[in-house]
Amino acid sequence: MLKFLGTLESDILQRPTRGLLHAAGSHVPHALRDYSPCAYPLSAFAAKEATSAMFEFNTFSEVVGGQHQVHFLVLRMAQSFLLWIGDDSKELNNLSVAMPPFRGSLESVSSNLMGGSMSSLAEAISRKLAKKSACQVFVSVSLKFQDSQTELALLQRVLDEMSLHPEYFFQTKTACT
């Protein structure tokens, strides 16, 4: 899916996606930078309008545990967002997805799409964010460290950013609904 999003944006705009992602911040994971070519027959003007409305990248950073620099990248999409949490390695090691609670349900449903050492952390964060935001949420956590306070610190930082800058996560001011 990530490869598809990048190729769509790259080919529609008829310029390399690599430059657009580097402009979003230097802490973009390598897996989100390198895409293979694909062709879509749209005019450059229509494509630029569609892409700017559908995808937006935002980044922020935080020092967790007093010693670990953690980078966050948010890819805002229509009715969903992808959150990458990582360190300077800029890798995409796992990916989890969660759906908001269905009518009458109290809990979000989640699944690991790609596994890795931190996939359970990614799944837990995606579940909590889906419930809070009422959006479909994709989360990847690619960190070389993990302790008991990591999940709480990462989740709190994302929730703080969500309240300070809802436009990073949602196309409307409140949530996906």
Query: In the structure encoding, which two tokens stand for residue 89, read together?
Result: 């390695």
In this structure, which amino acid lies at residue 33? R
User: Could you give the CA distance from residue 127 to residue 145 in angstroms, rounded to a whole number?
Assistant: 21
Shared domain check, 98 and 24: no
Residues 151 and 75 in one domain: yes
Q: Which residues, 6+ apart, have CB-to-CB distance to 34 below 8 Å?
A: 18
* 28 part of a folded domain: yes
Instruction: Judge whether 36 lies within some domain.
Output: yes
CA gap 124, 151 in Å, rounded: 8
Give residue 77's Cα distance to chain centre. 9
Same domain, 24 and 63: no
Please tell me whether residues 43 and 119 are part of one structural domain. Answer: no
**How far apart, in Å, do the first and last CA atoms of the chain sit?**
23
> Residues 25-68: pLDDT tens digits?
455 555 554 433 333 344 444 444 444 557 899 999 999 878 88
72-128: per-residue pLDDT in tens?
Answer: 999 999 889 999 999 988 888 899 999 999 887 888 899 999 886 667 889 999 999
Write out the residue range of the structural domain in which residue 95 sits.
56-168
In a domain, 174, yes or no: no
Number of residues in the chain: 177
What CATH number corresponds to the domain at position 69? Answer: 3.30.230.100
The model's pTM is 0.69
